[in-house]
Amino acid sequence: MKMLGSGPIWLDNLSCSASESSLTQCQLPGFQSNLCSHQIDVGVICSAIRLVNGSDQCSGRVEIYHVGQLGTVCDNSWNMNDAEVVCRQAGCGRALDALSSAHFGQGSGPVWLGDVSCSGNESSLTQCQHPGFGSYNCSHHEDVGVNCSASAQTPIRLVDGDNECSGRVEIYHAAQWGTVCDFSWNLKNAEVACRQAGCGRALAALSRVHFGEGSGPIWLDNVGCSGNESSLTQCQRPGFRSNRCFHEFDVGVICSAIRLVNGSDQCSGRVEIYHVGQWGTVCDNSWNMNNAEVVCRQAGCGRALDALSSAHFGQGSGPIWLGDVSCSGNESSLTQCQHPGFGSYNCSHHEDVGVNCSGNLQTQIRLVNGDNECSGRVEIYHVGQWGTVCDNSWNMNDAEVVCRQAGCGRALAAVSSAHFGQGSGLMWLNNVTCSGNESSLTQCQHPGFGSNFCSHYEDVGVICSGPKPRSTALSA
Domain boundaries, the chain: 1-43, 49-148, 157-255, 271-296+305-357, 364-464
- Rounded distance between C-alpha atoms, residue 169 and residue 350, angstroms: 36
For 403-443, what is each residue's pLDDT tens digit? 998 889 999 999 999 999 999 888 899 999 999 999 889 88
The predicted structure's pLDDT at residue 414: 96
For 3-45, what is each residue's pLDDT tens digit? 677 778 877 777 776 666 677 777 777 665 566 777 777 776 5
Q: Look at domain 364-464 and name its CATH class.
A: alpha beta
- Rounded distance between C-alpha atoms, residue 158 and residue 197, angstroms: 8
The reply to whether 364-464 shares the fold of 157-255 is yes
> What percent of the chain stands above pLDDT 90?
41
CATH architecture of 157-255: Roll (3.10)
The predicted structure's pLDDT at residue 475: 31
Domain 49-148 has CATH 3.10.250.10: yes
Average pLDDT over residues 125-138: 84
- In this prediction the pTM is 0.55
Assigned CATH topology for domain 271-296+305-357:
Mac-2 Binding Protein (3.10.250)
| 231, amino acid identity | S
- Rounded distance between C-alpha atoms, residue 194 and residue 383, angstroms: 15
Q: What is the DSSP string of 186-223?
A: -HHHHHHHHHHTT--SEEEEE-TTTT----S-EEE-S-
